[in-house]
């Protein structure tokens, strides 16, 4: 190197850096040596190295600087020095010159591309393909096609990898090379085959038949590199996925190939095959076993990468087939103490999914030790897994809730604490027995909580749930402590919570008044205002009290207007004599963010949503529907389904439907998204044909005025149906709209539009739509307490089934009830199974179901169905659903 | 896609940083994330012993070689196993160029060569060459011997 600068005189020679004090300006100056008539190759190489060092450190060159360096670099093609030439190839790629500058090197590169020296050719191809545009590409296409089938593997690979990159920018040109690429797939050179296979698949990925042919021929032939083998396994899974629909015979095509790959000598191939098998649609336990066995072996590998890969795959399998993974539990438990925290966390979350009820306590003990030394991001994963475990085994809520409260007391960041609090809140909602202890844990937490957001959310939740407990007075101390000790935001929340207790619990009212009066002297406006307001509303200041119902509506009711609209109206309000009128705020929901689509199907987020109903999404929907005058008379919303997609993924318009069930009505909420930036849709409606749903009569349609690009909106169609009857039917849907062209540069739409329509999938109302999934914490107690008065028992033959597990799932889905105590999971190879279900049927009638299944050698499944409910007619209705 | 190849010295200063398909504004985040990952986990790790992590849907395989630490980040088909194949190629090429597990000084002395090796191994996020002997010849523009 040219001049080494010393970092520190005292240090050993090792410490000198050849690049110490390197400075862009100086290096650019040095680059002038490229223009010397007598080139010093060694010095030029050094300068290029410095340029590379700068670029690799994230330094950028301005357009002028890059151009100047690029032009100088091109002079170096005159040098015959091989080492320098190699550096020149690299630096040109790194400088990525603009298309108007490229011309200066193309002739040199074209010359190299036809050079007799193969390695010049390979490099020239790579550089040309990196800097080329479409017009130049057509000129060199001929050479590239030759290069693909060149006998030198370096040249062939260079051309093939170039092809993979060029496919993104110039697909129509690269697609013309498929014959050559096809030939290269048969190459004896391992890497050429790998690159050719990747390119050929990309060229033909939309041609199912061609991919299938490719897979068939290669799975029979020889694949030379493990990398190519992995690709082939991936493409094979794709073919299996697409063909399984048509396959009637029962044997899965290519399974033998995948299974054979489990015995390959490269670990990479074994894993790829094992993953492919575990991800097969409707994989049977017989198919799974060999894959699980090899993965189990890797759990005790000495290499962390292999352990990680194994536990990651098993973790995924555990989500769908927990029973299949139980055989690995012992190996998995030893991974809890793995040095690598990713491995340990994956092991724990897998164990939490596959463990049985009796092992929960032991597992929790192990996890407690582990939690203290992992990062928050891992802890959040564990907390989420524990929450699901608790919902699965509600009887174990005590130890799980204790665990959560213990970790809540320890150090941790906001996201982690929020995850714990959310979990406790969800458990309180779903497991009634856990309510009192859970609320106390939350109370203790806010005594020493550094996060204002969490404190206010918990106070809000406490205000709703606390007054309904057996002894509400014990929470008052915790709440009032907040008024004394916390910041203004928390104090204001505490005042609201106190008021809620006062409104609901009459015996506490006088004491609440005393506390609220003390808040009148708070030094924060908001706290004082709230205290005054609530004292006035509750009658604590001796004034005439409003009716009890009004008070509760005021304290607990929602605003009934979208917050965004309220915010906008308040911003527009100019301070005048005239007070702000809340009724002037529009109630129409303009558009809901995309997030709604993603979260709607999941568990409700704990604290954010209002807590009243069994599921909080229902509340959000209820609010939305009641804000629409046409639907406000429909009464109480019984159930809202999860969104059902009516379009395939990645179509022009994405539409899903949420079915809202009322006593006498059904409302279809169509959530529409326009994915074309150049279009604006107006007057969007869904025209529904209900000819296959005889009991339904359309009563109202709410069109969507405007549907701009990527801003989801809703349109509604309402039907009347006979009261209290679980009517079923099929509805065909067509999306109709006025489409207007949008200028992408200005975002403005044209004045005139064209009417158009778009066929959607059919939607259905089925029996399960009239059932709410509501779990019970102790099925046996619940069953006994319902009593045998309205018990109905009958037996049914379900005919030949693919497996027992499939039959169990089919019945669960048919009834739409909540499986209890993990009984939805069928043990592998078992001949009989019992399943417990719970739910609330239309009309708010509690229903419990006991299912006993048996399967014979010819896969005929028989089922005994025992139903208990609060009403005889409902028990009968459940049997009718199954009988039909 | 092989999203990043990053090589740092033992203090966490970047020596080589090559990103593919990672937006400019995310690079700094990745750099600090990887360096922290190494600081937390690479103490006491033997030369070429692989460590692994995942962050959302992205995989990271990293190791120590002499006084430098090497990180590879990938997603989709470049999962932990493909990355460990790639990192094996990178470490063997560096050892080959330096003659031994390098000190920082030796690494910087051979900087140009190492850049050429990386250029042969990874090309815009795709693994191109995996054989160290071939790479050794290719960076000197010598034809491969094995065909």
**pLDDT band at residue B40, thresholds of 50, 70 and 90?**
confident
**Would an 8 Å CB–CB cutoff place B141 in contact with chain A?**
yes
Burial of A618 (0-12, 13-18, 19+ CB in 10 A): buried
Residues counted in chain B: 147
Residue among A191, A516, A254, A853 nearest B147 (CA) = A191
**pLDDT band at residue A299, thresholds of 50, 70 and 90?**
very high
With beta carbons under 8 A apart, name residues in chain B contacting A159: none
Give me the pLDDT at residue A545, please. 58
Give me the helices (H) in A132-225, please: 134-148, 153-169, 171-174, 178-185, 190-204, 208-220
Give me the pLDDT at residue A231, please. 93
CA A449 to CA A463: how far, in whole Å? 18
Give me the pLDDT at residue A602, please. 38
Interface probe for A, chosen from B74, B81, B124, B139 (most Cβ of A below 10 Å), is: B81
pLDDT digits (tens, 9 = 90+) for A756-778: 999 999 999 988 889 888 877 77
Calculate the average pLDDT of chain A. Answer: 85
**Region B29-45 average pLDDT:** 90
**Would an 8 Å CB–CB cutoff place B112 in contact with chain A?**
yes
**pLDDT band at residue A492, thresholds of 50, 70 and 90?**
very high
Strand partners of residue A661: A639, A666
Residue among A847, A844, A846 nearest A635 (CA) = A844
The DSSP symbol for A508 reads: G
- Chain A: residue whose CA lies nearest to B135: A154
Among A56, A118, A152, whose Cβ lies nearest the Cβ of B17?
Answer: A56
Give me the pLDDT at residue A845, please. 87
Give me the pLDDT at residue A462, please. 93
Task: For residue A531, give the 3-state DSSP assignment.
Answer: helix
Give me the pLDDT at residue A27, please. 93
Give me the pLDDT at residue A849, please. 93
Give me the pLDDT at residue A686, please. 93
Q: Is residue A5 over pLDDT 60? A: no
**Would an 8 Å CB–CB cutoff place B82 in contact with chain A?**
yes
**pLDDT band at residue A667, thresholds of 50, 70 and 90?**
very high
Among B14, B115, B126, whose Cβ lies nearest the Cβ of A90?
Answer: B115
Pairing assessment for the beta strands A754-759 and A771-772 based on DSSP bridges: unpaired
How far apart are the CA of B69 and the nearest CA of chain A, in angstroms? 15
Interface probe for A, chosen from B28, B97, B104, B128 (most Cβ of A below 10 Å), is: B128
Backbone angles phi, psi at A120, to 5 degrees: -60, -45
B104-131 burial by CB neighbour count: b if 16+ within 10 A, else e? Answer: bbbbbbbbbbbbbbbbbbbbbbbbbbbb
How far apart are the CA of A316 and the nearest CA of chain B, in angstroms? 13
Compute CA distances A58 → A24, A580, B112, whole Å.
12, 55, 16
Strand partners of residue A731: A763
Strand partners of residue A836: A850
**Interface touch B50/A303, C-beta < 8 Å:** yes
Residue among A380, A392, A374, A320 nearest A350 (CA) = A320
**Interface touch B18/A189, C-beta < 8 Å:** no
Residue identified by tokens 């002894």 is A471
Q: Is residue A14 over pLDDT 70? A: no
**Would an 8 Å CB–CB cutoff place B61 in contact with chain A?**
yes
- Asked if residue B62 lies in contact with residue B54, where contact means CB atoms within 8 angstroms, the answer is no
**Region B27-49 average pLDDT:** 90
Percent of chain A with pLDDT over 90: 34
Give me the pLDDT at residue B147, please. 55
Q: Is residue A133 over pLDDT 80? A: no
Task: For residue A864, give the 3-state DSSP assignment.
Answer: strand
Token pair for residue A465?
A: 């749930």
How far, rounded to the nearest angstrom, does the alpha carbon of residue A224 sit from its chain's CA centroid?
37
**Would an 8 Å CB–CB cutoff place B32 in contact with chain A?**
no
Helix axes of A435-447 and A397-409: crossing angle, nearest 10 degrees:
0
A160-178 burial by CB neighbour count: b if 16+ within 10 A, else e? Answer: bbbbbbbbeebeebbeebe
Q: Is residue A129 over pLDDT 80? A: yes
How far apart are the CA of A411 and the nearest CA of chain B, in angstroms? 19
- pTM equals 0.65
Give me the pLDDT at residue A6, please. 39
Question: Where is A785: in which H helix or E strand?
Answer: helix A779-786
With beta carbons under 8 A apart, name residues in chain B contacting A15: 105
Backbone dihedral region for residue A561 (phi beyond 0: left; psi -120 to 50: alpha; all else: beta) = beta
The DSSP symbol for A675 reads: -
Rg, chain B, Cα only:
14
Backbone angles phi, psi at A347, to 5 degrees: -65, -45
**Region A88-117 average pLDDT:** 84
CA A324 to CA A318: how far, in whole Å? 7
**DSSP percent split of chain A into helix, strand, coil, nearest 5:** 55, 15, 30
- Asked if residue A551 lies in contact with residue A539, where contact means CB atoms within 8 angstroms, the answer is no
**Would an 8 Å CB–CB cutoff place B143 in contact with chain A?**
yes
Among A48, A120, A195, whose Cβ lies nearest the Cβ of B141?
Answer: A120
Query: How many other CB atoms sit within 10 Å of the CB of residue A859?
Result: 14
Give me the pLDDT at residue A356, please. 75
- Asked if residue A790 lies in contact with residue A873, where contact means CB atoms within 8 angstroms, the answer is no
With beta carbons under 8 A apart, name residues in chain A contacting B143: 117-119, 152, 154
More confident call, A630 vs A291: A291
- Asked if residue A655 lies in contact with residue A675, where contact means CB atoms within 8 angstroms, the answer is no
**Region B62-80 average pLDDT:** 94
Q: Is residue A458 over pLDDT 70? A: yes
Pairing assessment for the beta strands B58-65 and A860-869 based on DSSP bridges: unpaired
Strand partners of residue A793: A866
**Region A124-139 average pLDDT:** 85
Query: How many other CB atoms sit within 10 Å of the CB of residue A151?
Result: 12
């Amino acid at each position: 190197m040219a001049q080494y600068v010393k970092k520190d005189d005292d240090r050993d020679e090792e410490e000198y850096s050849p690049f110490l004090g390197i400075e862009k300006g100086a290096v650019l100056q040095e680059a002038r040596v490229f223009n010397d008539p007598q080139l010093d190759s060694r010095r030029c190489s050094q300068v290029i190295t410095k340029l590379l060092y700068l670029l690799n450190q994230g330094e950028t060159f301005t357009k002028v600087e890059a151009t100047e360096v690029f032009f100088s670099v091109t002079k170096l093609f005159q040098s015959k020095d091989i080492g320098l030439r190699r550096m020149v190839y690299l630096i040109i790629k790194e400088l990525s010159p603009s298309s108007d500058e490229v011309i200066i090197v193309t002739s040199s590169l074209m010359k190299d591309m036809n050079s007799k020296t193969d390695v010049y050719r390979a490099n020239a191809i790579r550089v040309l393909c990196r800097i080329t545009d479409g017009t130049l590409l057509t000129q060199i296409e001929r050479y590239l096609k030759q290069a693909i089938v060149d006998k030198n593997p370096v040249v062939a690979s260079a051309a093939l990898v170039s092809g993979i990159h060029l496919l993104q920018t110039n697909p129509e040109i690269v697609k013309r090379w498929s014959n050559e690429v096809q030939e290269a797939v048969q190459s004896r050179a391992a890497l050429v085959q790998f690159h050719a296979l990747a390119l050929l698949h990309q060229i033909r990925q939309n041609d199912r038949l061609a991919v299938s042919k490719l897979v068939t021929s290669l799975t029979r032939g020889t694949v030379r590199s493990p990398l190519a083998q992995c690709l082939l396994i991936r493409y094979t899974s794709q073919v299996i996925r697409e063909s399984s629909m048509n396959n009637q015979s029962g044997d899965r095509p290519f399974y033998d190939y995948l299974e054979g790959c489990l015995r390959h000598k490269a670990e990479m191939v074994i894993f790829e095959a094992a993953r492919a098998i575990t991800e097969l649609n409707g994989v049977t336990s017989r198919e799974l076993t060999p894959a699980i066995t090899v993965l189990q072996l890797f759990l005790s590998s000495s290499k962390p990468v292999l352990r990680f890969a194994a536990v990651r795959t098993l973790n995924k399998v555990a989500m769908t087939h927990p029973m299949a993974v139980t055989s690995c539990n012992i190996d998995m438990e030893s991974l809890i103490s793995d040095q690598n925290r990713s491995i340990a966390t994956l092991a724990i979350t897998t164990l939490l999914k596959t463990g049985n009820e009796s092992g929960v306590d032991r597992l929790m003990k192990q996890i407690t030790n582990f939690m203290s030394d992992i990062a928050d991001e891992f802890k959040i994963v564990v907390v989420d897994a524990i929450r699901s475990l608790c919902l699965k085994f509600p009887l174990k809520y005590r130890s799980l809730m204790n665990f959560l409260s213990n970790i809540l007391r320890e150090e941790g960041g906001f996201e982690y604490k929020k995850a714990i609090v959310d979990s406790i809140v969800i458990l309180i909602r779903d497991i009634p027995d856990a309510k009192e202890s859970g609320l106390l844990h939350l109370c203790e937490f806010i005594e020493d909580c550094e996060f204002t957001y969490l404190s206010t959310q918990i106070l809000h939740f406490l205000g709703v749930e606390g007054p309904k407990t057996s002894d509400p007075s014990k929470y008052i101390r915790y709440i009032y402590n907040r008024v004394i000790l916390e910041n203004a935001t928390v104090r204001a929340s505490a005042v609201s919570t106190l008021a809620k207790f006062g409104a609901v619990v009459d015996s506490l009212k006088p004491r609440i008044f005393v506390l609220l009066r003390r808040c009148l002297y708070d030094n924060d406006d908001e706290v004082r205002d709230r205290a005054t307001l609530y004292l006035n509303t509750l009658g604590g200041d001796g004034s005439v009290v409003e009716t009890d119902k009004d008070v509760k509506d005021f304290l607990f009711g929602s605003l009934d207007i979208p917050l965004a609209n309220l915010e906008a109206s308040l911003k527009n309000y100019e301070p005048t004599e005239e007070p702000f009128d809340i009724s002037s705020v529009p109630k129409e929901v303009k558009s809901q963010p995309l997030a709604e689509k993603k979260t709607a199907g999941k568990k409700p987020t704990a604290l954010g949503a209002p807590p009243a109903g069994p599921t909080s999404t229902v509340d959000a929907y209820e609010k939305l529907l009641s804000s629409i005058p046409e639907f406000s008379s429909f009464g109480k919303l019984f159930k809202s389904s999860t969104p059902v997609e009516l379009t395939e993924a990645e179509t022009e318009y994405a539409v899903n439907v949420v079915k809202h069930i009322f006593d006498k009505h059904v409302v279809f909420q169509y959530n529409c998204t326009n994915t074309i930036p150049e279009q604006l849709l107006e007057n969007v409606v869904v025209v529904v044909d209900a000819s296959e749903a005889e009991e339904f009569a359309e009563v109202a349609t709410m069109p969507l005025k405007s549907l701009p690009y990527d801003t989801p909106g809703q349109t509604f169609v309402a039907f009347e149906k006979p009261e209290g009857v679980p009517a079923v039917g099929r509805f065909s849907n067509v999306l109709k709209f006025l489409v207007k062209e949008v200028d992408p540069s200005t975002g403005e739409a044209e004045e005139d539009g064209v009417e158009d329509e778009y066929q959607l999938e059919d939607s259905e109302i089925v029996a399960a739509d009239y059932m709410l999934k509501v779990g019970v914490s102790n099925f046996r107690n619940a069953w006994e307490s319902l009593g045998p008065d309205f018990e109905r028992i009958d037996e049914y033959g379900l005919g030949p089934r693919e497996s027992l597990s499939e039959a169990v799932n089919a019945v669960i889905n048919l009834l739409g009830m909540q499986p209890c105590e993990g009984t939805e999971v069928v043990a592998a190879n078992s001949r009989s199974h019992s399943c417990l279900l719970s739910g609330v049927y239309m009309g708010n009638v509690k229903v419990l179901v006991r299912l006993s299944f048996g399967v014979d050698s010819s896969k005929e499944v028989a089922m005994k169905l025992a139903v208990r409910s609060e009403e005889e007619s409902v028990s009968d209705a459940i049997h009718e659903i199954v009988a039909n | 896609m092989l999203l990043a190849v990053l090589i740092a010295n033992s203090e966490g200063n970047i020596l080589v940083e090559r990103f593919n398909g990672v937006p400019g504004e995310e690079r700094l985040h990745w750099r600090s994330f990887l360096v922290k990952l190494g600081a937390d986990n690479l103490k006491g790790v033997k030369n070429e012993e692989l460590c692994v992590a995942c962050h959302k849907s992205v995989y990271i395989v990293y190791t120590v070689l002499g006084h430098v630490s090497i990180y590879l980040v990938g997603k989709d088909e470049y999962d932990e196993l493909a990355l460990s194949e790639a990192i094996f190629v990178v470490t063997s090429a560096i050892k080959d160029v330096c003659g031994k597990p390098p000190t920082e000084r030796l690494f910087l002395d051979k900087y140009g060569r190492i850049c050429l090796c990386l250029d042969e191994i990874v090309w815009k996020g795709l693994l191109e060459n995996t054989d160290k002997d071939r790479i050794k010849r290719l960076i000197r523009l010598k034809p491969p011997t094995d065909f």
